[in-house]
A and B are shown apart, each in its own frame.
Chain A
Amino acid sequence: MSKGDTKLLKKERLEGFIESLLNDHVVFGPVKKNDLRLLDRIESVNDISLDRGNTMNSAKNALFPQTERLFAYCHGEKVVEIDAPSAEGRGLVLFGVRPCDARGLLLLDKVFGGSLKDPYYCDKREKTVVIGVACDKPDPKCFCLAMGGGPCSAEGSDLLLLDLGDQYLVKAGSPKGKTLLKNKAFQKIDKEALARADLVEKEAEKSMNQAVLAQAAIGEGLEKHLETLFDDPIWDDITESCLGCGICTYLCPTCHCFDILDETGQSTGERIRIWDSCQFPLFTHQASGVNPRPSSKERFRQRIMHKLCYLPQNGNLSGCVGCGRCVTECPVNLDIREVIQKISAREAK
C-alpha cells in the first residue's frame, strides 16, 4: 500500500468531518432506534452509534430501498401521462458500513449495472461515498473471512476507518477515496501507526470464531460441486425446517429480487418496485398455475444455488459475504454455515 492511500484521523476530528459531509450530502449511518441498530439517514453527527457488531439492515437499503417509486402517472379515459422521476441532486454518504456489507455493494453494482443499467440504483450509486468502519472486534456470528472478505478489508469502501485507540487509520479503497483523503481533516501516516494497525488487523482476524470459519469455509470449486448436487436428496434434509418466511432474503446484503406493481387511485397511480423473495411460493407461480418451485425445498435450494453457484458462474462475487444476519435471525435456526458444511461434505452421486 502506498503512503498516499493511507492517512490518520484524530478521533476528535471525526465529528467535524461528518458534519462537513452533512452540509452537502444525504448521510446514512448506524443509529439506535428502539432496541435495534439500523443504518438510517442521520440529521446530526450525534445520531451515530458506533458500537461493536453490525446494523440489523444492510447498506443495500440505502441504494435499493424496500419500496421505491419508479414513476407516477395520470390515467384518464383516453389519455395517459407519465411522470418519471429525475435523479436526486445531492450525493449520498454511507457512513459506518461494515466490510461485509461494503463488499455486498460490489455484487449489487454488477447486478444493477452492466450493459443495461438500472437507473434508480446507478444514479444513486454514482454519487455515493462508502465510508466503512473496520471490525476490530468481530461479532461471534460473523464469517466474512470464510467467504473471501475480511474484518478490516477496504474492498467496496471508498474509505475504511480502523480504530487505533485515540485515532483512526484511514485507508482509501477506491480512487474516489483517494481524492477524499486530500481533506484537511486527515493527517500523514507514521510508521508507528502502521505497525499498530497491522497488529489490530491481525488480532481482529485471530479473534474471529475459528470453529465458525472452518465450518463455512468455501472449498475450492464449491460452485462445480453444487451443480452435481442439484437433484440430491440432501436438500430434503436441509430444508425440512424452513418456514419460507423470507427473513434471510430481506436482511441479506446481496439479495436483490424485486417485484413491480401499481398502486392507484381513480385517475392517478404510481408504479413501484418492492423487495420480493425467492422463498415465497408466488415468486415463480405462473398465471397458468404452473410453479417450477412448488415447495420450500426448491425455493431454499434456489437461494443457495443462486448465491454460491449461479452468481460465481456469471463472473460475479459469491452471493454470501458472511455477515451472519440470516444465521441469527432465522426463526428455526437454519444456518447457512451448516448448509455449506453439509454440501461440502456430500459426495456427488
Chain B
Amino acid sequence: MENPYVPFLMRIENVILETEDRKIKTFVLAFVSEEDRKRFAYVPGQFAEVSVFGKGEAPFGMASTPTIPDHLEFSVSTIGVVTGALHNLKKGDIVGVRGPLGNGYPLDAFKEKNLLLIGGGFGFSTLRSLTNYILHDQNRQAFKNLTIIYGARKPGLLLYKADLAAWGKRHDLNLHLTVDQEADGWKGHVGLVPNITRAVAPSPKNTFAVVCGPPVMMKFTLPVLKDLGFNDEDILFSLEMRMKCGIGKCGRCNVGSKYVCSDGPVFSQSELSKLTGEAHF
C-alpha cells in the first residue's frame, strides 16, 4: 500500500528573497531522485506539504509551472514554526515534499476561453504558476485573451518581479498591477483589487475569472464580478483553510460537506453557493 504520509526528498537549489519586508522567500527545489521527479505530475493550483525535518510540515501551492519539470518552487511567508524554520534553510539543505495534492485549476475547461486572473498579496503564487503555464510556447494558443490583475499593499511587496517585468513586455496579455497607495516611481494602478477589477475587467463573455488572495479581497471581488455579469460557474476561487493531512482524512479543512484539501482548493462560486454556511464569503 502506498504511503501518502511519507515525503520524498528535495534539495534547495536557490532561495530568492521576494519582498522588501524580507518576509517572503521563494524556495527553488530540485528532486533528489529521478523517480520522484517523474512521478510528480501536477497542474497549476495544486499544492504540496513541505517538511522541515525536526519541525513539521505545512502546505504551500506550487508557484512553479509544470512546463519546467526539473524544479518545484514554493513561496513561503515566515509566520509560524515550519515557515520560520524554512526561512533559516539555505542552498543545499534537504526538505521533504508530499504531493501533488488537491484538484488544481481546470485547464481543460479553460481551453478556448478568455482568462481573467485576479490575485492579491501572497495568494498570487498559484496564479503565477497558471500564468507561466499559459504563456508557455506550446500552450499559449490553446487559451484566448489573458488579463491579470495583481495587487499588493506597496510596490515592494509584489512577488516575482522578474516575471512581472517579462510579462509587461509581452503583447499577448494585459497586466494590471496595483498598490493600495501612491508610491514614488510607481507607474501602475493605485487602488484596491476589487475596484481595479471593476475598472479594467474584460467582458464576461466566454471568460473565466480565477481569484486567489486574502479572504477579504475575495469577499469584495465576488460582488464586482457578479455586477460585471460573470456567471457563478465561471468564477473560481482558490480557498485557504488550515490543512494538515492533505488527503481528506484529518478533518481540519472541512467546509460544509467538502474538504478544501482534497475536493479543492479550487471551487467555483456555483459549488460554494451550494455549500453550507462557512464556505460563503
Residue positions of A touching B, CB distance < 8 A: 70-71, 73, 75, 78-80, 82, 84, 111-112, 114, 116-120, 122-123, 227, 230-231, 256-262, 264, 269, 271, 273, 276, 278, 283-288, 290, 292-293, 302, 305-306, 309-310, 313-314
Do B247 and A116 touch (CB < 8 A)? Answer: yes
With A71-B5, A116-B247, A276-B250 known as contacts, the answer to whether A78 contacts B94 (CB < 8 A) is yes
A260 to B241, CA, bound (A): 16
| Contact among A114, A120, A262, A313 with B56 in the assembled complex (CB-CB below 8 Å) | A262
A84, A260, A264, A305: residue with the most chain B Cβ atoms closer than 10 Å: A260
Interface of B is mostly: loop
Contact B250 A257, beta carbon cutoff 8 Å: yes
Chain A residue nearest to B254 in the complex (CB): A306
Cβ-defined contact, B276 with A84, below 8 A: no
* With known contacts A260-B57, A309-B276, A310-B254, A122–B79 Cβ distance under 8 A: no
Q: Which residues of B contact A84 (CB under 8 A)?
A: 3, 6
B276 lies within 8 A of A258 (CB): no
Contact indicator A258/B96 (Cβ below 8 Å): no
* In the assembled complex, B92 has its CB within 8 A of some CB on chain A: yes
Q: Is B140 an interface residue (CB 8 A)?
A: no
Residues 90-125 of B, flagged 1 when their CB comes within 8 A of A and 0 if not, give: 001110100000000000000000000000000000
Bound Cα distance from A314 to B244, whole angstroms: 21
B66 at the interface (CB under 8 A from A): no
A231-B277 contact in complex given A260-B244, A262-B54, C-beta closer than 8 Å? yes
Task: Closest B residue to A255 by CB, please name it.
Answer: B251
Q: Which residue of B lies closest to A81 (CB)?
A: B9
Q: Is B55 an interface residue when CB atoms closer than 8 A count as contact? A: yes
CA distance A112 to B247 in the complex (A): 10
Count of A-B contacts judged by CB separation below 8 Å: 118
Identify the interface centre among B92, B240, B249, B256: most chain A CB within 10 Å of its CB: B249
A292 with B241, Cβ < 8 A, contacts A79-B94, A262-B56 known: yes
CA distance A265 to B214 in the complex (A): 37
For chain B, which range describes its interface: under 10, 10 to 19, 20 to 34, or 35 or more residues?
Answer: 35 or more
**Residue in contact with B277 in the complex, picked from A117, A123, A230, A278, CB distance below 8 Å:** A230
| Residue B215 interfacial (CB < 8 Å) | yes
Q: Chain A nearest CB: distance from B120 CB in Å?
A: 13
A264 touches B54 (CB 8 A): yes
Residue in A closest to B94 when the chains form the complex, CB atoms: A80
A227–B57 alpha-carbon span in the complex (Å) = 34
The distance in angstroms between the C-alpha atoms of A38 and B180, with both chains bound, is 60
Contact A257 B252 (CB under 8 A): yes
Chain B residue at minimum C-beta to C-beta distance from A311 = B257
Known: A269-B53, A292-B241. A259 touches B250 (CB 8 A): yes
Report whether B252 and A292 are in contact in the complex, using a CB–CB cutoff of 8 Å: no
CA A120 to CA B245, docked complex, whole Å: 13
Across-interface contacts of A111 in B (CB, < 8 A):
249
Cα A287 to Cα B5 in complex, Å, equals 22
- Cα separation A269 to B56 with both chains bound (whole Å): 10
Given contacts A116-B247, A292-B241, A313-B257, contact A284 B276 (CB under 8 A): no
Docked CA distance A306–B251 (Å): 9
**Which residue of the partner chain B has the closest CB to A111?**
B249
Collect the chain A residues with CB atoms within 8 Å of residue B215's CB: 290
- Nearest Cβ on chain A to B271's Cβ, whole angstroms: 13
Given A258-B244, A264-B54, A287-B79, decide whether A70 and B94 contact each other with a Cβ distance below 8 A: no
Q: Does B129 contact A (CB under 8 A)?
A: no
Complex CA distance for A262 and B50, rounded to whole angstroms = 13
A269 to B9, CA, bound (A): 16
B6 x A71 contact (CB < 8 A): yes
Closest to A116 in B: B247
B4 A305 Cβ-Cβ under 8 A = no
A309 and B4 CA atoms in complex are apart in Å by 28
Please report the C-alpha to C-alpha distance between residue A259 and residue B5 in the assembled complex, in whole angstroms: 12
Give Cα distance in the complex from A258 to B252, angstroms: 8
Asked if B244 and A117 sit within 8 Å, CB to CB, the answer is no
Cβ of B83 under 8 Å from chain A = yes
- Given A119-B4, A278-B251, A310-B254, output 16 extra A-B contacts at Cβ < 8 Å: A75-B54, A82-B6, A82-B9, A116-B248, A118-B249, A119-B5, A227-B276, A258-B245, A258-B249, A260-B5, A260-B56, A262-B53, A287-B58, A288-B214, A305-B276, A314-B257
